[in-house]
Amino acid sequence: MEQLYHENYELKEHLQALLYEQESIRLRLTEYIYQNQSEQEYLAGRIKSVRSQYEEYESQIKVIRKRTDSIGGSNSDSIQYETDGQIKAATKQKLIDSLFFVDTSTDSSKFFPTVFLLTYRYFATTKEVISDIHKTYSQTPISPNDSSFHLRATNFVKEWIKDFSYDFTSDDEAYRECSLLIDSLIATDNKWGEKWTMGKRLKESLESKKRETASKQDNKNIFSQPAPTPYLPKTCTGASPGRYSVLDFNPIEVARQLTLKDYDLCKAIQPKECLGLAWTKKDKATRSPNLLKMIDRFNHVSRWVTYTIVMEPNLKKRTKILSFFVQLIQHLYELNNFNAIFAIVGGFGNSAVHRLAKTFGGLKPDRKKLLDEMRFLTDPVKSWGNYRIKIGKVDPPCVPFIGVYQTDLTFIEEGNPDKFAGTDLINFKKCRMIADVILLIQRYQQKPYNLDLVDVVQQFLSDENVEARKIEDRVLYEHSLRAEPRQNQ
């Protein structure tokens, strides 16, 4: 069967080469449009020849597909493909087989293992997948002369442990099952000679990840440059003795400290938390704890902004506080912390703040311009089209606005079934769509910020968050009315 897949892969390579040649000829035809007629006729004839070969290879691929389908019954009953060769739907076993019996070096299939690892929890537990892989490995004849299956199995487990070790370190049954599979890989290595050592290294890697988790070891980030010097508060002008006001802090440092906290929360989000709208379910605290923390963080920052503005009775000082938050947004923008930007603009949009016309009217022109730009950036029109354009041009480090990805995941989940009606075929096209969103989140989890934690600022933000949550929306609106009474009063 693997030989058939190999033949299929070689034919696809020929097809790709012919497509390139055809395009090259078309370009030459354009280039020689004013050359002699014989040259044009030659090129036109060559195009016909290429097209003929292309059709011949396509027919051969169809024959190969039929031969493949005949092995163990009708393949179309257990797996379906897109026109570009990617898997559209399949049974669980066919998906597992495809990890090892399909050439994953082609453009259409090279991301298949990644998509599988990001989304397999739709149709199986970690233990079940490892157990099925172990069963497939045990039933497949292998030898040193044909080691491709052994190497693929070993490399797949290696990538799984490297990128998703928490699948095993947080699940004792899955850990034991993975250890048994690695023992089988090691047994094969031992039969084949001393140069085969990948299995032993896998065992060491798995055990190392387990020890790190048990000791709660957190690898510290190492940077080539020192972090920028923090800005510490020089005064303490809060409403009560020893209590800080937001105006006592440099907005640059507040932006840094918000960003450090936001990045840590974003980095902790695991792929499984994004599956099946886990953050909306009854058991969401168990299934999606880190994503929920990110959502709570957004709401808390937004609440803090609203609270800080409306609780200040003096118009002049209230305008200064509003101006501070606009400056804060500017520095968050420079740090690519879009989650906090959306939260602060959301705080401005709270009815208790939005109605404060005199307060907003007191902003300087440059602050008003910046605020308008940030409102444009965070406008939800066209599914946050302005923001999507911006973040598409941003390089990490970055904290994305998670709400956009939640919306995308919701549309995908509600618009696509997990399985196709009347079959046991898993909708793997949906899995790819979900994986695309998860990969966007993961892109911004890889590069940390080179900033120092400043305890006094973090403590202030934590204390203010506690105070803000004590005040009900009704009370906040009452303070807003006292600050700027309605015009008819």
Among residues 262, 301, 269, which one has the least CA distance to residue 397? Answer: 262
| Cβ-Cβ contacts under 8 Å for 308 (sequence gap 6 or more) | 246, 321, 325, 464, 468
Q: Which residue has the tokens 């060559």?
A: 46
Q: What three-state secondary structure class fits 288?
A: coil
Could you read off the pLDDT tens digit of each residue along the chain, which spans 489 residues? 555 545 555 555 555 555 555 555 544 444 444 344 455 555 555 656 655 665 555 555 544 444 444 433 445 678 999 988 889 999 999 999 999 887 655 555 678 999 999 999 999 999 999 999 999 999 998 888 888 889 999 999 999 999 999 999 989 999 999 999 999 999 999 999 888 899 999 999 999 999 988 776 566 778 889 999 999 997 776 666 568 999 999 999 999 999 999 999 999 999 999 999 999 999 999 999 999 999 999 999 999 999 999 999 999 999 999 999 999 999 999 999 999 999 999 999 999 999 999 999 999 999 999 999 999 999 999 999 999 999 999 999 999 999 999 999 999 999 999 998 888 899 999 999 999 999 999 999 999 999 999 999 999 999 999 999 999 999 999 999 999 998 765
| Cβ-Cβ contacts under 8 Å for 336 (sequence gap 6 or more) | 394, 396, 397, 398, 399
Sign of CA dihedral 390, 391, 397, 403: positive
Residue 279 pLDDT: 96
Q: Which regions of 140-250 does DSSP assign to beta strands (E)?
A: none
Is 89 buried (19+), middle (13-18) or exposed (0-12) by CB count in 10 A? buried
Q: List own/partner pairs for 292-300 with CB under 8 A and 24 or more apart.
A: 293/265, 293/268, 294/262, 294/265, 294/266, 294/269, 294/339, 294/402, 295/402, 297/261, 297/262, 297/265, 297/339, 297/343, 298/339, 298/342, 298/343, 298/346, 298/402, 298/403, 299/343, 300/465, 300/468, 300/469
With b for 16 or more beta-carbon neighbours within 10 A and e for fewer, the 143-161 pattern comes to eeeeeebbebbbebbbebb
Report CA-CA distances (Å) from 119 to 110, 175, 271, 374, 440: 16, 19, 8, 35, 14
**CA–CA distance, 3 with 77 (Å, rounded to integer):** 21
**Alpha-helix residue ranges (DSSP H) falling in 70-171:** 92-101, 112-119, 126-139, 148-163, 166-169
**CA–CA distance, 426 with 88 (Å, rounded to integer):** 9
Residue 311 pLDDT: 96
Residue 1 pLDDT: 54
Residue 318 pLDDT: 97
Q: Which residue has the tokens 């019954």?
A: 73
Which helix (H) or strand (E) segment is 478 a member of? helix 473-483
Reported pTM = 0.81
CB atoms within 10 A of CB 334: 11
**CA–CA distance, 382 with 373 (Å, rounded to integer):** 17
Residue 440 pLDDT: 95
For the residues of 456-473, what is the DSSP string, one character each? HHHHHHHHHHHHHHHS-H
